[in-house]
Amino acid sequence: MEFQLRSLEEKEKTLEERARLLEEKLAIKELEKSLTKTESVEKLESRINELEQGLTCQRKLWLFQNRSGLVLSKAKTATILGSS
């Protein structure tokens, strides 16, 4: 009887440890999901910022061309976009 009791106690300890490890693994997986989503959001925000900057540069160029009445060559356009 005593052997069975010790055996059950050891099994209980083993199961508790296994449950704790599984809970930790699950928590790690959830953190990884959250991190992946955060990275995706950051990449999207970065892409949006790049697009907005491109639109701003294009708008500045368009305004410059319309105000000056000029149609610029590609080289001059690149120079203007590079400096803005």
Sketch the domain layout of the chain as residue ranges: 2-83
What's at 25, amino acid-wise?
A: K
The neighbour count for residue 29, using CB atoms within 10 Å, is: 10
The confidence band for 75, taking pLDDT boundaries of 50, 70 and 90, is low
Q: What are the tens digits of pLDDT across the range 7-49?
A: 999 999 999 999 999 999 999 999 999 999 999 999 999 999 9
Output phi, psi for 69, to 5 deg: 70, 20
Q: Are 6 and 13 in contact (CB under 8 A)?
A: no
Helix locations, the chain, DSSP H: 2-68, 74-83
Per DSSP, 12 falls in state H
State how far the Cα of 6 lies from the Cα of 18, in Å rounded to an integer. 18
